[in-house]
Amino acid sequence: MELKYVIPNMEKTFGNLEYAGEGKVEQRRINGRMTTLARSYNLYSDIQRADDIEVILPQEAGEKFFEHEEKVKLVNAKITAEGYKIGDRGFTKYILHADDMVKA
């Protein structure tokens, strides 16, 4: 059985989320034109305080505009895991995806 993603309990895992700014835009050339595939955004969490939370939204969600520290809510959030190694040690990077991000 393959683990495709985990659906987090958003309230217990992240608590209240606030918009912290725009992240990266993933683009690819398709039929000679640059096309946006996904956008990432940085969020603040009142539970996960060590680092900002990065969420990746698909192109279909469109570009998001929020005020800094405005409360937001993620729609259909999922966490995927990506493994990598440095030297002889293995590590896991957790990636948060959502279908959309809206005002809370």
C-beta of residue 98 within 8 angstroms of C-beta of residue 78: yes
Q: If you average pLDDT over every residue of the chain, what do you get?
A: 93
Report the helix count and the strand count for the chain, using DSSP H and E.
1, 7
CA dist., res. 83 & res. 74, Å (int): 24
30-49 mean pLDDT: 93
pTM of the model: 0.87
Structure tokens belonging to residue 83: 């493994």
pLDDT tens by residue, 44-86:
999 988 788 999 999 999 999 999 999 999 999 999 988 899 9
What local confidence, expressed as pLDDT, does residue 82 receive?
Answer: 87
Predicted confidence (pLDDT) at residue 1 exceeds the cutoff of 70: no
Neighbours of 1 (CB within 10 A): 3
Q: How far is CA 78 from the centre of its chain?
A: 9
Helix (H, G, I), strand (E, B) or coil at 11: helix
